[in-house]
Amino acid sequence: MAEYQKIEYRIGKNGKITETVIEGVSGEQCLELTREIEDRLGEVEGREFLPEYDREFPTLVETQEQTQFLQQ
């Protein structure tokens, strides 16, 4: 997951909360990022996926190389 994620919450006059993941994650990561908050806020009435939902973010991959020399 990216280091920086931005989520926007809007609370309407009727108390309805709208949550929008603005940046930092895509796809299933959006749902994982917001799951705990949604559980605490109550029942989710519906979901709308923005076009960015399918966008791929570069993933940082760390590799480690080890070289071993055998003596004969």
Per residue in 59-70, pLDDT tens?
445 555 555 556
Domain membership flag for residue 47: yes
The domain total for the chain is 1
The answer, as to whether pTM is greater than 0.85, is: no
Strands (E), 1-72: 6-11, 17-23
Structure tokens at 65: 């190389």
Residues in the chain: 72
Domain membership flag for residue 64: no
**Which carries the bigger pLDDT value, residue 49 or residue 52?**
49
Domain membership flag for residue 46: yes
Domain membership flag for residue 59: no
With cut-offs at 50, 70 and 90, classify the pLDDT of residue 57: low
Give the domain extent around 48: 6-53
Q: What pLDDT, on a 0 to 100 scale, did the predictor assign at position 43?
A: 85
Domain membership flag for residue 24: yes
Residue 41 dihedral angles phi and psi, to the nearest 5°? -80, -30
Q: Which of 5-9, 19-23, 25-29, 63-67 has the lowest mean pLDDT?
A: 63-67
